[in-house]
Amino acid sequence: MNDLYDNLFKVIIIGDWGVGKSNIILRLTQDAFDPDSRTTIGIEFSQKLVEFHKQKSLIQIWDTAGQDRFKAITSAYYRAAVGAILVYDISDRSSFDNLSTWISEIQSNTPQNTTTMLLGNKADLKKDRVISFDEGFDYAKRHKFLFNEVSALTGEGINDSFHELIVKVYDTVIYGLLETKRSTSKLSFVEEQENDGVFKRLHRGFCC
């Protein structure tokens, strides 16, 4: 086991182009905001070390492009993700209406019971809001997602939301509630390791 961490978890962040996914990661990992953030091309990768329950967990965060033309590429990277952050822009109705498409991507390409958090970004744009907090909350509740509104610009809610997600991921994985998804069968983490090595059991956790 790596001496620097006890667990290694893969989390994906998805949603329409322009909702602020890259800046959410930037705020989370560097406590910064880039007003000139460029469009993500395909996949970008970041990581963050968190500590709770007297264990250190290294979180791999995969930022996926929001444009339709990249979906064939990015869907392959969903595999082995134990957490998903689904983002919409509270000032953009279309980004909310398109959530069902992204949910289908999660359901088709990630392990069963992958922990998903719905985030309404740009909470600082109160005057431009078209999606109410209650509408976002109710949508998340129907799909059994965690939920919060955040602002990558100000940092509001970013760290608290991420901590909530990772604690739930930890509990789901460590207590064996997560199963991988296959077209013909569902395999446990141990069985997955025995078949193709995508998951590797650690001393006190799982690697993905």
Q: Above 80 in pLDDT, residue 194?
A: no
Sole residue written with tokens 């965060």: 61
**pLDDT cut 90: percent of the chain above it:** 50
Packing angle between helix 158-174 and helix 21-30, nearest 10 degrees? Answer: 90
- The model carries a pTM of 0.79
In a domain, 11, yes or no: yes
**Pairwise CA distance, residues 85 & 64, whole Å:** 11
pLDDT tens-digit readout, 49-102:
988 878 888 999 988 764 455 455 556 678 789 999 999 999 999 999 999 999
Q: Note whether 94 and 16 are within 8 A (CB).
A: yes
Please state the rounded mean pLDDT for residues 174-183: 56
In a domain, 186, yes or no: yes
pLDDT value of residue 119: 98
Q: How many domains does the chain have?
A: 1
Return the CATH number at 176. Answer: 3.40.50.300
pLDDT tens-digit readout, 27-43:
999 999 877 766 544 56
Range of the domain at 77: 7-207
